């Protein structure tokens, strides 16, 4: 079996579901494009000799039953939905790579000792409705009906109406599977690290924790021509000082800490008035909880100090506080060895700076991830791409990992 041609054929077929003229995919949860994709994937699983089944909300699995330990499952896959005008690899690659790997292992080694299962998660991105990880949260009975029963998309279509029109509904059971012995997710990096360092495989040791703040500073709006610099309570000046100081501090602490000031709103936001109020966002991430906590304290202390020095009031709202998620050490070692066997030293042990379904799975089952490079670090974009040779190497490494987990005693 030729891994490259098999993957390319599948990728071309499934990119057509929601495929755009200019390239890329828009395939949103419970849309017609999404429905067509999951029904075709169900058909493909069956054609490959896998037992295909949906759960209540639309997560799809294709199962190759184990010969000796059928009640023990090695799970691999990713999410089937995309962002608006997204690429053909984010999510989809993880599903198709898993399918190709299982097909390859079946052809080469026959039936595994443990059951191998390819997973297509209904949703991860939150692109159509304001809710993320619907697929993986339902997998572990974390999602609540009350989370989504009143939300709607941009066109006013209610979440539950779209779900039911697609033939799915809320979970009918609170049971959680206890057969899963490992979950492995392969994904494009969505960053520039592997490409910059000329690495073919990223061995993910954890997913960073995130803290997100919304900050409001209130000074005084006043005439831009008649207010002397010494008498101004200019919130943009205060904001600039905060950005400059905290960015410098983040660079001193060093990688993998990242800090982003991504959104800003000014009042009155006009050319000839000193801005008297500013609201802005702060996003910081790190794989180490203590370092993340300590830096969050520095953020708050700096904002308070600058605000008070400039005679301003402040409001600090920490509205996201996600802990780092560490991957299973044993599976990470298996992935690292498989990477070493396939690409020599062209791999890197690294954290993921983006969120993934694996962070949900890792709370309940042994979980690990591997990355392949992204050209230019571009993702969530129709220009998203990875060299075919890197995609193939990723599938080969995944195959070796699944062999270790499912075919060996």
pLDDT tens-digit map of 23-62 = 999 999 999 999 999 999 999 999 999 999 999 999 999 9
Mean pLDDT on 314-324: 95
pLDDT in tens, 337-348: 999 999 999 999
> What CATH number did the domain enclosing 3 receive?
3.40.630.10
Q: Can you read off the two tokens belonging to residue 54? A: 């949906």
CA distance 204 to 356: 11
332 and 393 in a single domain? The answer is: yes
Mean pLDDT on 111-115: 98
Query: What's the confidence (pLDDT) of residue 402?
Result: 98
Mean pLDDT on 301-316: 98
Number of H helices, E strands in the chain: 12, 16
Query: What's the confidence (pLDDT) of residue 187?
Result: 98
Note down the domain range covering 296. Answer: 208-320
Query: What's the confidence (pLDDT) of residue 110?
Result: 97
pLDDT tier for residue 207 given thresholds of 50, 70 and 90: very high
What are the φ/ψ torsions at residue 368 (nearest 5 degrees)?
-155, 165
302 and 372 in a single domain? The answer is: no
CA distance 280 to 243: 10
**Cβ atoms of 130 and 86 closer than 8 Å:** no
213 and 197 in a single domain? The answer is: no
Last residue of a domain, one of 320, 355, 370: 320
CA distance 154 to 126: 12
CA distance 120 to 60: 5
pLDDT tier for residue 10 given thresholds of 50, 70 and 90: very high
**Cβ atoms of 181 and 188 closer than 8 Å:** no
387 and 243 in a single domain? The answer is: no
pLDDT in tens, 82-105: 999 999 999 999 999 999 999 999
Mean pLDDT on 207-216: 96
78 and 45 in a single domain? The answer is: yes
**Cβ atoms of 25 and 82 closer than 8 Å:** yes
- pTM of this structure: 0.90
361 and 240 in a single domain? The answer is: no
306 and 178 in a single domain? The answer is: no
Residue 281, burial from CB neighbour count under 10 angstroms (0-12, 13-18, 19+): middle
CA distance 110 to 60: 23
Of the chain, the end-to-end C-alpha distance in Å amounts to: 25
pLDDT in tens, 237-261: 999 999 999 999 999 999 999 999 9
pLDDT tier for residue 302 given thresholds of 50, 70 and 90: very high
Q: Is 211 left (phi over 0), alpha (psi -120 to 50) or beta?
A: beta
28 and 122 in a single domain? The answer is: yes
pLDDT tier for residue 273 given thresholds of 50, 70 and 90: very high
> What CATH number did the domain enclosing 315 receive?
3.30.70.360
CA distance 298 to 21: 47
184 and 218 in a single domain? The answer is: no
Query: What's the confidence (pLDDT) of residue 348?
Result: 98
For the chain, how many structural domains are there in total? 2
Query: What's the confidence (pLDDT) of residue 400?
Result: 98
**For 300-340, where are the E strands, in sequence order?**
313-322, 325-326
How many percent of the chain have pLDDT more than 90? Answer: 99
Last residue of a domain, one of 295, 320, 345: 320
∠ Cα 305 311 314 (to 5°): 60
- For residue 301, give every residue at least 6 positions away whose Cβ sits within 8 Å of its Cβ, in sequence order, or none: none
pLDDT tier for residue 69 given thresholds of 50, 70 and 90: very high
Coil, strand, or helix at residue 348? strand
Mean pLDDT on 281-292: 97
92 and 136 in a single domain? The answer is: yes
Last residue of a domain, one of 293, 320, 347: 320
202 and 212 in a single domain? The answer is: no
**Cβ atoms of 332 and 368 closer than 8 Å:** yes
**CA proximity to 320, closest of 211, 219, 398:** 211
127 and 271 in a single domain? The answer is: no
Residue with tokens 């198709």: 96
CA distance 216 to 301: 14
């Amino acid at each position: 079996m030729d891994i490259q041609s098999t993957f390319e054929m599948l990728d071309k077929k499934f990119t057509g579901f929601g495929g755009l003229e200019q390239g890329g995919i828009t395939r949103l949860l419970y849309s017609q494009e999404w429905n067509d994709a999951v029904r075709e994937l169900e058909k493909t699983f069956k054609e490959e000799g896998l037992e295909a089944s949906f759960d209540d909300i639309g997560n799809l699995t294709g199962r190759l039953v184990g010969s000796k330990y059928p009640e023990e499952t090695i799970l691999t896959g990713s999410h089937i939905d995309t962002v608006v005008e997204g690429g053909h690899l984010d999510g989809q690659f993880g599903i198709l790579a898993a399918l190709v790997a299982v097909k390859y292992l079946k052809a080469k080694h026959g039936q595994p000792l443990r059951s191998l299962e390819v997973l297509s998660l209904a949703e991860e991105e939150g692109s159509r409705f304001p809710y993320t990880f619907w697929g993986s949260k339902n997998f572990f009975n974390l999602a609540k009906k009350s989370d989504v029963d009143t939300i709607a998309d941009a066109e006013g279509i209610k979440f539950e109406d779209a779900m039911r029109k697609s033939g799915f509904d809320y979970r009918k059971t609170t049971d959680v599977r206890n057969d899963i012995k490992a979950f492995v997710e392969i994904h494009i990096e969505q960053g520039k690290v592997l490409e910059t360092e000329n690495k073919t495989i990223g061995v993910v040791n954890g997913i960073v924790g995130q803290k997100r703040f919304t900050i409001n500073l209130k000074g005084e709006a006043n005439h831009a021509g008649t207010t002397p610099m010494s008498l101004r309570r200019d919130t943009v000046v205060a904001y600039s000082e905060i950005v400059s100081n905290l960015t410098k501090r983040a660079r001193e602490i060093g990688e993998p800490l990242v800090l982003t000031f991504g959104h800003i709103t000014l009042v009155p936001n006009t050319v000839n008035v000193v801005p008297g109020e500013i609201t802005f966002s702060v996003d910081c991430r790190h794989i180490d909880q203590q370092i993340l906590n300590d830096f969050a304290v520095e953020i708050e202390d700096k904002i308070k100090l600058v605000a008070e020095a400039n005679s301003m009031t402040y409001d600090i709202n920490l509205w996201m506080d996600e802990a780092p998620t560490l991957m299973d050490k044993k599976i990470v070692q298996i992935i690292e060895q498989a990477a070493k066997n396939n690409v020599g030293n062209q791999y890197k042990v690294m954290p993921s700076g983006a969120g993934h379904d694996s962070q949900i799975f890792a709370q309940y089952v042994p979980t690990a991830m591997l990355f392949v490079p992204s050209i230019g670090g571009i993702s969530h974009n129709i220009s998203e791409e990875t060299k075919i040779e890197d995609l193939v190497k990723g599938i080969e490494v995944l195959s070796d990992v699944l062999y270790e987990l499912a075919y060996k005693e």
